Structure 1
């Protein structure tokens, strides 16, 4: 009597669970000993997607700092002034709140002695909030701005070709008032600049070149 015994349960498990399994079919009869046949079950579509997702995650950059170029300094200033009308006296990419979150911090002089710090999202340009500030130099800044024609945003645009502008600030403490700006090159090198608030003339801060051997 010919007997065909197939372990169907193994094959079914392979098809249900995904992965690769071996189904053993034992055949008795004329030819003597049992023979083994292999049935390979394919990975399910979901498992393939999971494997691809794991591969994608392996190369992901975990650096929490966003790109500084997504919203430029002039764009951040424009967003801040739309939310809080006035005169921008500084803008800086700030990550000093110990949360790892980087935002544009734009200081705006509004009516009277009012001064506000406006936070702008560096990805979308959306204003995240604003709060009133009390600073001793508010009146001094107002006095320094009298008669000037170059705004903080215009100063940032003037040096945009030098690198990514990461900060712009009105310096009224020196012999002459100027906009001070910092740029970061694609290689990470930083450079400070001065922009004349009357003429828009750009000059490099030579103090940054003090270690340059060509200066000797």
Structure 2
């Protein structure tokens, strides 16, 4: 009789232990599965956050560029036409481009490229007050046949860089003007800023007609 009681007790204990182990195993498996799914969701969220941050950075860069343009324009007391005229009085020749510096210590200063009659090219710096700060010769001898063709067209043009800047000034404040060749035709390319928005224009060398430039970025 005692032997039967002992066997029954051991059997019950074994069954109870197996049930506890089974529940323990089930709990461990259940705890593991949700953890894996949570990790996948967190990674996806991080990717979305990274994309959002990249878009925000791009927008910030665009706003920064516009702010630089506005700062440069407000920091210069002379127009593009006036800067070109001052540069040519200092260094006679053909003005092939003029650009307003938009950042750093030189913000508000004009850089005017002038080619003299002997073919020498000079970079003339004009301050925001119209004073010529200096001129230095560009010693880079990398001009090609296209550059020479553009220069020839500019020398024979009825409308020079100063007049192109004056013509485009009706569209906004001119920040840059320079020669541009497209499909064999040379014209003045002019950039303006108005109400914080930058635009590009073409000015014909022979008629001075101003048309909006439709670039590949439009």
2:130 aligns with 125
Q: How many residues align?
A: 145
Q: Select the residue among 80, 92, 101 that pairs with 1:85.
A: 92
Identify which of 170, 190, 207 aligns with 1:181.
Answer: 190
**4+ residue runs over 4 A deviation:** 63-66
In structure 1, stretches of 5+ residues that fail to align are: 1-62, 211-216
Question: What is the aligned partner in structure 2 of residue 170 from structure 1?
Answer: 179
* Contact 2:96-2:151 within 8 A present in 1 as well: no
Pair 203,111 (structure 1): closer, same or farther in 2 beyond 3 Å: same
Q: CA RMSD in A?
A: 2.4
Q: What is the DSSP-based 3-state SS (H/G/I as helix, E as strand, rest coil) of the residue aligned with 2:185? A: coil
Q: Indicate whether 1:113 and 2:119 are aligned.
A: yes
What does the per-residue CA deviation read over 1:148-167, in whole Å, with 9 as the maximum and x for residues that have no partner?
21100000110111100000
Judging by fraction of residues, say which structure has more helix. 2
Deviation at 1:68, TM superposition (A): 5.0
1:151 aligns with 2:150: no
> 2:73, 2:175 within 8 Å by CA — same for their partners in 1?
no
Please report how far the alpha carbon of residue 181 of structure 1 lies from its aligned counterpart in structure 2 after TM superposition.
0.2
- What is the CA–CA distance in structure 1 between the aligned matches of 2:188 and 2:106, rounded to whole Å? 28
Note the alpha carbon deviations across 1:93-133, whole angstroms, 9 max, x for none. 0246x5454410000010212010000001x1000010101
Question: Kindly tell me: are residues 146 and 65 of structure 1, through their superposed partners in 2, closer, same or farther at Cα, counting changes over 3 Å?
Answer: closer
Deviation at 1:145, TM superposition (A): 2.1
Distance of 1:68 and 1:175 partners within structure 2: 37
More relative contact order in 1 or in 2 (CA 8 Å, sep 6+)? 2
Normalising by the residue count of structure 1, what TM-score does the alignment of the two structures yield?
0.60
Tell which structure's C-alpha radius of gyration is larger.
2
Q: Normalising by the residue count of structure 2, what TM-score does the alignment of the two structures yield?
A: 0.60
Q: By how many angstroms is 1:64 displaced?
A: 7.4
